[in-house]
Chain A
Amino acid sequence: EAGVAQSPRYKIIEKRQSVAFWCNPISGHATLYWYQQILGQGPKLLIQFQNNGVVDDSQLPKDRFSAERLKGVDSTLKIQPAKLEDSAVYLCASSPTRYEQYFGPGTRLTVT
Chain B
Amino acid sequence: EDQVTQSPEALRLQEGESSSLNCSYTVSGLRGLFWYRQDPGKGPEFLFTLYSAGEEKEKERLKATLTKKESFLHITAPKPEDSATYLCAVHGAAGNKLTFGGGTRVLVKP
Q: A interface vs B, CB < 8 Å?
A: 4, 33, 40-45, 48, 55-56, 91, 93, 98-106, 108
Contact = CB atoms under 8 A, between A and B. Distances in A.
A103 B103 CA distance: 16
A99 B97 contact: no
A56 B96 CA distance: 8
A90 to B, nearest CB: 10
A101 B42 contact: no
Contacts of A45: 97-98
Nearest to A48: B97
A22 to B, nearest CB: 15
A51 to B, nearest CB: 14
A106 B57 CA distance: 28
Nearest to B91: A99
A43 B100 contact: yes
